[in-house]
Amino acid sequence: MFFIIPAIGLLLAFCLQGLGWLALSSQSPGFLLPQAVPSEPLVTLSFSEWAKWFFVAVYAVYGCETASSFVADSHKPAATLKSLSFAALLLPIVYVGGSWVVARLAETSSNNAFTAMVTAATPFWGRSAPVLITFLIASGCLLSSATAVSNAPRVLYQMALDGYLAPVFGVVSRRGVLGPSLAMTGLLSLACLAWGDVARVVMITGTGYLASMIGMHWGMWVRRDRPEALWSRWSLVFCLVEITVLVVGGLAWSWQDWLIGLLLPIAMLLFNAAISRSRVEFFQANWWLQRYQAPPVKISDLMFVQVCVLIFLVCGATIVGWATRAVLDGFALNNHANLFVVLLLAIAFLGVAIACWTSLPQVAAVVEAREAAEHLFKVVQDAIVVVNEFGIIQRTNPAARSVFGKEKSLKGQRLNHYLLELSDQPQEWQKCSEQPFQPGDTLKTLDVSVSNHLIYDFREYIVILRDITERKQAEIQIRESQQKLMLLVQQSPVGVIERNLTFEVTAWNPAATKIFGYKAEEVIGHSASSFIVPESLQERVNQTLHTLVTQKSAIYNSNLNLTKDGRTIICEWHNTPLVDPCGQVIGIASLVMEVTEREQAEAQLRQQKQELEQALKTLRSTQAKLVQSEKMSSLGQLVAGVAHEINNPVNFIYGNLNHANEYSQDLLKLLQLYQQEYPNPSDQIQALTKDIDLDFVMEDLPKLLHSMKIGADRIRQIVVSLRNFSRMDEADMKTVDIHDGIDSTLMILQNRMKAQSDHPGIQVVKHYSDLPLVECYAGQLNQVFMNILSNGIDALDDAIAKKYQAPNQYSDFVPTICITTKTTSAGLIAIHIVNNGPLIPEITQQRVFEPFFTTKSIGKGTGLGLSISYDIITDKHGGQLSCQSSLETGTEFVIEIPKRQAFYNAA
């Protein structure tokens, strides 16, 4: 503002006062038309002159960069934009009006701006014109320099972000300092200062600036379809005008400067390419980032530094004043004021720079701290109330209004109006307390923290309030829960034992005392295993405890334990690791119950259950065997009765067949004798002889009688077999021929073994040894033969069925039953019954003699035949019955019984 007010104020005064003097003064050469004096300047304004003027004035007309810097640096951008709108309205007055004043009142066509403006201002400012114009131009130049320093780094930074310049120009500090861009701007400024020709510097930079504006307007026309491209047609018009002004005005000023201005961007691009490829650390982004990330240098006493700088500034100003006076003594008096103004502004600019250098870090730190505090003050969840030394509220944050339920400000009210237990004097308040607060029907509890600090000559208190109502309620609930839990533990009939990570007891309830006999004070702080676990089980218990800690999973077990009085009891343990919210095991909790009586009762019940199951199994087997024996007994009675009934008529027939044969032979001899003695019988005899075919009857009658005898013999054999199988007349143990029993059984099963239309016959191979008579229960032993042979025939029938289903696989199969009898080395009678049917699996072989076990389909077997056979051999005869099956030998049942039961009983 130190430079803006004089620069803009004097410029507006020059324009407005000059235009007013031209329009109203009697000495005016005329506002519009020049005087008719031949020497009057600016009689005509050519296109070339206008182009030269526009070439220079375009920078001020397109002053968007200056406006953007003002908006960017302002704390109130909206208000700044409004002021910039007003400044934009002054542009026509300043540049059109000022140019017109200079054109009408300047007495020379010199390119020197100071001379032209002093000449134009002298008619209305008089003798003060040189000083005021010097003040205007100097402040304007310094303001332009400050604007360039503000805008140029921003432009370089944005171009680096867009990828047009080296990345080093895109580096920015945490406080927004564009170090590399500022350094580049400083170097360019020093280069211009060293050159010293301001007119040429303005021409060269103006050429580049106008070229950039041409590119901007042309881009807006090319991208006119984009929403951000405003006034695209006007942009095309501006672009054409600017191209014309660039060519005409630039060449009119100086073609050398115009050419340098056009080549300057190319030179800058070449310089940028060199920087991008350079390995010098100063041109690397990382070098700047490391400097920015380094901790700032802390000045312990910034006030001391500022005082030193102020002393240096005062002393420097005094020295410069004495030197200036000495210089001014050598010049004319009329030049003293102009040089003094320039010197004054230069020293002021230097003073502003030094002040910014010394104060801005501190100001920035203060601003950052204030913003951080304000942000924390607003966003913190706790209510913050600032009161004065009288307890009156000065400030509150948003959280305080939500706590007190007030939408309006609390400022000016007393805090103890809400927190009734607080006194009127804040110095009497406790630093930490809990205060009740009841905004309505709900009573709340607030945690109150008070701190005070002295600000100059008054004391301020900061009160932090936190609503802990829910926490207090939760604490009450937790205490109640803990009390209930403690009562539950103390009154529980289940023993509760808690251990720490070293397995020492930390809790022991009365139920545990009742179970083990130890009081809590006897075991707390000690390892419970040494008291209640037998020595043989302590290692296993310790392993269980370690597993609980490492695996974090519950374990149930039942152990033998010791009581204080030495008894051994059985206890069930439910062990659970105690895990905190962080997932760490902090202890072990165990629930224990004595189950000695229950275990004993369960063991007794299990034994009774086993005995009952065995009794039931025996009962079912006995019942089934009794039923089967009854069936076999009934069947034996039936067979014996049928055999007896058949035996009498068969014996009658068989006994008369011999007599019938003799009688028929006698009759045939007599008939032959009649034929010899009476060769010519009567016609009636001859006719009857022919009708009955006497020759065939005489030949066939002996054969018929022989066949009847064979049939009678077969019936007699069947009857004998039935009688031998049933052995109804031999129910007690008797000495019999084993082979007769086997043959009788085969005779009964003959029908199942003979060949039929759907399968071949079963061959029976007998390998009978010379066996002595065996003492046994003949009928029961025949039943064993019947069961084993019947099962063998069933297995062969299955094999025959498979043969018809897969004839290639069973092409060489011949169903065969092989029966071998022999005497073993131990003096036992062994009967081997082998069939070449399907293989019996090993698991089935182990169960073939179990009651009710069968592999046959429903309706074909009861599962009792082999079981009854096993009992007959083992229980009745003291022998053995076994089963073996293999692919090579087939399925073999081996029966071994002693020759005499007296021998078995003695053994």
Amino acid identity at 159: M
Token pair, residue 902, equals: 């007296």
Packed helices 98-105 and 4-24: angle between N→C axes, nearest 10 degrees:
50
User: Residue 786: its pLDDT value, please?
Assistant: 85
d(CA 122, CA 114): 12
Residue 822 reports pLDDT greater than 90: yes
Question: Which is more confident, 227 or 79?
Answer: 227
d(CA 745, CA 768): 15
- Residues in contact with 469: Cβ distance below 8 Å, sequence separation at least 6, in sequence order: 443, 444, 445
CB 429 within 8 A of CB 422: yes
User: Residue 37: its pLDDT value, please?
Assistant: 44
Residue 570 reports pLDDT greater than 80: yes
d(CA 625, CA 645): 29
User: Residue 734: its pLDDT value, please?
Assistant: 83
Packed helices 4-24 and 113-125: angle between N→C axes, nearest 10 degrees:
60
Q: Place 904 in a pLDDT band, splitting at 50, 70 and 90.
A: very low
d(CA 284, CA 277): 10
Q: Place 616 in a pLDDT band, splitting at 50, 70 and 90.
A: confident
Residue 830 reports pLDDT greater than 90: yes
Q: Around 228, how many Cα atoms within 13 Å sit in the side-chain half-sphere? A: 2
User: Residue 396: its pLDDT value, please?
Assistant: 84
Q: Residue 128: helix, strand or coil by DSSP?
A: helix
DSSP code string of 452-515: EEEETTEEEEEEEEEE-HHHHHHHHHHHHHHHHHHHHHHH-SSEEEEE-TT-BEEEE-HHHHHH
Residue 240 reports pLDDT greater than 70: yes
User: Residue 333: its pLDDT value, please?
Assistant: 43
Q: Place 895 in a pLDDT band, splitting at 50, 70 and 90.
A: very high
CB 119 within 8 A of CB 108: yes
User: Residue 894: its pLDDT value, please?
Assistant: 93
> Tokens 């005329």 label which residue?
30
Instruction: Write down the number of H helices and E strands in the chain.
Output: 29, 17
Amino acid identity at 165: L
User: Residue 728: its pLDDT value, please?
Assistant: 44
d(CA 727, CA 780): 9
Residue 301 reports pLDDT greater than 60: no
Q: Place 369 in a pLDDT band, splitting at 50, 70 and 90.
A: low
Specify which residues 465 forms β-bridges with.
Answer: 383, 448
User: Residues 400-422: pLDDT tens digits?
Assistant: 877 777 656 778 888 888 888 88
Specify which residues 818 forms β-bridges with.
Answer: 765, 834
User: Residues 435-452: pLDDT tens digits?
Assistant: 888 877 778 888 888 887
Q: What percent of the chain clears pLDDT 70, i.e. is strictly above it?
A: 76
Average pLDDT, stretch 125-151?
77
Amino acid identity at 68: S
User: Residues 149-160: pLDDT tens digits?
Assistant: 777 788 888 888
For the entire predicted model, the pTM comes to: 0.42
What strands, in cross-sheet order, belong to the sheet with 444-455?
Answer: 393-396, 383-388, 458-467, 444-455, 432-437
> Tokens 């932090």 label which residue?
464
User: Residue 477: its pLDDT value, please?
Assistant: 87
Average pLDDT, stretch 553-569?
88
Residues in the chain: 907
Residue 126 reports pLDDT greater than 80: yes
User: Residues 15-36: pLDDT tens digits?
Assistant: 888 888 888 888 877 777 554 4
Q: Around 405, how many Cα atoms within 13 Å sit in the side-chain half-sphere? A: 9
Query: How high is the mean pLDDT of the chain?
Result: 77
d(CA 381, CA 384): 9
**Main-chain dihedrals φ then ψ at residue 41, nearest 5 degrees:** -80, 160
Residue 298's alpha-carbon distances to 177, 290, 363, 365, 556, in angstroms, are 18, 17, 14, 12, 66
d(CA 442, CA 444): 6
Q: Residue 576: helix, strand or coil by DSSP?
A: strand
User: Residue 43: its pLDDT value, please?
Assistant: 47
Helix (H) or strand (E) holding 606: helix 596-677
User: Residue 834: its pLDDT value, please?
Assistant: 92
User: Residue 832: its pLDDT value, please?
Assistant: 94
Q: Place 109 in a pLDDT band, splitting at 50, 70 and 90.
A: low
Q: What percent of the chain clears pLDDT 90, i.e. is strictly above it?
A: 4
User: Residues 801-820: pLDDT tens digits?
Assistant: 776 666 655 567 788 999 99
User: Residues 56-73: pLDDT tens digits?
Assistant: 666 655 555 566 666 666
Token pair, residue 217, equals: 């307007």
CB 133 within 8 A of CB 58: no
Token pair, residue 304, equals: 């001391």
Residue 224 reports pLDDT greater than 90: no
**Main-chain dihedrals φ then ψ at residue 865, nearest 5 degrees:** -60, -55
Q: Is 108 exposed, middle or buried (0-12, 13-18, 19+ CB in 10 A)?
A: exposed
- Residues in contact with 361: Cβ distance below 8 Å, sequence separation at least 6, in sequence order: 302
User: Residue 907: its pLDDT value, please?
Assistant: 40
> Tokens 């199951």 label which residue?
613
